Chain A
Amino acid sequence: MTTSAPARASRALKIPTRLDRRYLPVVGTFVVLALMLVVGGSRYDNFVSPAVISNLFINNAHLIVLAVGMTFVILTGGIDLSVGSVLALSTVVTAALLQAGWPPAVVIPLGVGAGTVIGLAHGVMVHYFQVQPFVATLAGMFFARGLCFVIAPESIAIDNASFVSLASWVQIFGGWRMSSGVLIALIVVGIGFLVLHFTRFGRTVYAVGGGEQSALLMGLPVARTKVLAYVVSGTCAGLGGLLFAMYSRSGYSLTGVAMELDAIAAVVIGGTLLTGGTGFVLGSVLGVLVLGLIQTIITFEGTLSSWWTKIVIGVLLLIFVALQRVLSLRRT
């Protein structure tokens, strides 16, 4: 891409024409995901069918949104343990307000906004008070869960007609189905991708993860970026809650217990380093699909007792991570 051939070409670093090393983990994830599909397809009837793949997305739309938000935070070198609880809070707020007769046009922004506010609080704690992200968001996790109980310990059904019709919107293409939730999730993924790769904020997120001090000395707006990353994650958790409320048409305070671990696992499986600075939103989406696929395999197996389910999930996770590791080590 450089304009002229320099005289000192002999010293220029030889760029491998093959795949950029940065994409290796993601490619690894993709390859192993494909392998899982192949193996699953050969073991179970109907496994690789449009219906199953569509369901994979429909069932995991909320998790995809959580993972996108989590990717931002992890890229800055942080972590957000609150997303499961915030998701629950958003479902509860949404359901409770709808039950109280508020119109969806007001309720939906409020539900999502609850996540934004909590995210902002995290950002402020992490950046201005230098509380470690793990702790700040752990506190946020308790806080959101506690708020859920205070609002409504029991599950609340949503029967608001316009909300239900939004929730049950489905587009059908042959055997493929796309729900409103999936559509929203895909839009979020698209926005996440664009923001991370085509805005200064996005690149600063990477810079902060690569070295907060360096980023600061480079004169980048570290404070704003870090706070904003938590705001993004909180908002995504709120939106995830909305999707979950649409998916289950209810709000429940015990929803999403330990869902933050799923989100973190998805992000990490997708090739993002927890130390920050490297990773991709699309990788995280693949990570969610991997987790979803593991669950699908378990259901298709159909004979696993509860404990074997746990053990098999662990083993599949191990195989997955080990394979991915081997693949990316090989190529480097």
Chain B
Amino acid sequence: MNLILTLRVLVNGVLFGTTYGIAAVGLSLIFGTMRIIFFAQGTFIIFFAYISYWLLTLLGIDPYLSLIIVIPASMLLGSALYYGIFKEAAANEDKNISLLLAIGLMYLMENFMLVVWTPDPRSVVTSYTTLVFRPFGIVIPFTRLTTLFIAVLTAAGVFIFLKKTLIGTAVRAASEDVVSTTLMGINPNWVNAVAFAIGIGLAGVAGVALATIYPFDPSYGFIFAIKALIALALGGIGNVYGALLGGILLGLIESLGSFYVGGGWADAISYGVFLLVLIFRPQGLFGGSIKKA
């Protein structure tokens, strides 16, 4: 049944791609206000996957329930990171320094995790880990479906925040013109800190979601950062909505790539697509052109 197989591949791609999508939305927000790619995003995702793992194994807290702790904690951590590390670099508008700071942070986090959790892969195992639905012969694991659900919910939450709240509008405004926002009386540090809080908060959500689906180890953070970056580029850097679509598209590309070309090639294919997009359509596949102020 080739059709069913293809469908299964597609569904899996979408289900997994949403995790990339949430990560990319976080990257996109931080990029919008700070103009830097926050390389450590992937590493933080893995970090929160470990936190979720700890909460389960040490305290017996269900991963999905742990979101109640992880989301506020990660948002707090995000704003603390901004004020502690990135504030001066943001004020000096020195992008290279911010970039290297992010690299340093990623390096630090990854090695921290190696020490605390060793390089051996861990996975979160619960009673529902092996639960599977089979509508029309398509195999859909329960955890992936939940991930999709959480991703959609989170993305909707972020979009509503950006669209409906005043501070959300300010974040979008700052990603267009920071000076102009300060002339409205908006404190740029506040906006950046909010972007960081949401960015790392999304890493928290993505981390928990990832932990329920896949075994993970510390080095996976770097790969995930690249994946999120690819998703971002596909969607258009700075385009928050595009980032989510870009993530789903990347999930599809990987899923189709590993099915039709062979497992292991998926990384190379998605990277190839990424390069082509960067070179020929730097504004991304969705939406209009990048407007230069």
A, B co-complexed: no
Instruction: Name B residues whose Cβ lies closer than 8 Å to a Cβ of A.
Output: none
Instruction: Name A residues whose Cβ lies closer than 8 Å to a Cβ of B.
Output: none
